[in-house]
Amino acid sequence: MTWSNPLIPQRADPQITLVDGRYWFTASVPSYDAIEIRAADGIAGLARAPTKVIWRAHDSGPASFHVWAPELHRIDGRWYVYFAASERDDIWKLRMYVLECEGADPLTDGWVERGQIATPEEGFSLDATPFEHGGKRFLCWAQKSPPTESNLYIAELANPWTLKTAPAVITRPNLAWERIGFCVNEGPALLKRNGKVFIAYSAAATDANYCMGLLWADENADLLDPKSWHKSPTPVFTTDESASQFGPGHNSFTTTPDGKADLLVYHARNYRDIVGDPLNDPNRHTRVQAFGWRADGFPDFGTPVADGPYSL
């Protein structure tokens, strides 16, 4: 397999998922006002695949601004998109929402809003990612907790858009590298292997300090118990100035079609200095590279690769 990095320019918070031999892609669009998806038979094909806008922000009120970090999932044979959006008159009133496809083809069939995912605490919430484990379906997401922290929460789901259990905090940004610019843990992405449940996440401000951290729990542990989770004391994927890759993060995971190679999907910029608010800089590009596993069963993400052709 060969493709070129960046795979898709100006697409932050990327998610690539492999379903029935086909790759599906979604990400934040630079205008933050719509959700688009595309599909292809290979990773390289995603760069050329036509996009389909499946939903646009409302004109006002809830879900009218800052449409961020969509994720496309097929759950029990149905397609869903999880995303965050705020209100035009209150741009940090971010909440999580769910769309459901009315048919079997996300590119041609209609989509309906299933509504907001209600959480007990006030404060912005975003980056929802669902996953199945041990016969149960869970949701992990980021949510603001007073005074200024963004923590990761987990809960069991009653259905794809409704929490079944009280949320539990599984990590807070309590390490120095998670608190540069802002105190942030966000963008969770699940990986299961070698008897463990891993959650990669992103930390710090969305500039060159942005990086990935790693949580893990035993596969037989109670995932709703915060004590089940452990955190790497150091980041696991960071800026590499020698490769001109800055602020890598908000990742997802997929594999090659044969499942023999694991792939890390993430965004990064190819320059350090940003004028103004990093969120207004559109040049967080989607990138894909393979990663391996250490002898102790933990993932080894390596370092970001330089721009250009990439082959497995």
End-to-end CA distance of the chain: 6
Report how far residue 252's alpha carbon sits from residue 257's, in angstroms, rounded to the nearest whole number: 16
By CB atoms closer than 10 A (0-12, 13-18, 19+), residue 172 is middle
Coil, helix or strand at residue 282: coil
Instruction: Tokens for 81, please give them.
Output: 């998109």
The residue annotated as part of the active site, out of 36, 87, 127, 186, is 186
13: annotated active-site residue: yes
Report how far residue 84's alpha carbon sits from residue 16's, in angstroms, rounded to the nearest whole number: 18
Task: Give the C-alpha distances (Å, rounded to integers) separating 218 from 81, 165, 229.
Answer: 28, 20, 8
89: annotated active-site residue: no
The residue annotated as part of the active site, out of 13, 71, 149, 207, is 13
Total Cβ atoms within 10 A of residue 2: 10
Q: Would you say 18 and 39 are in contact if contact means Cβ atoms under 8 Å apart?
A: no
- Among all residues, which ones are annotated catalytic? 13, 186
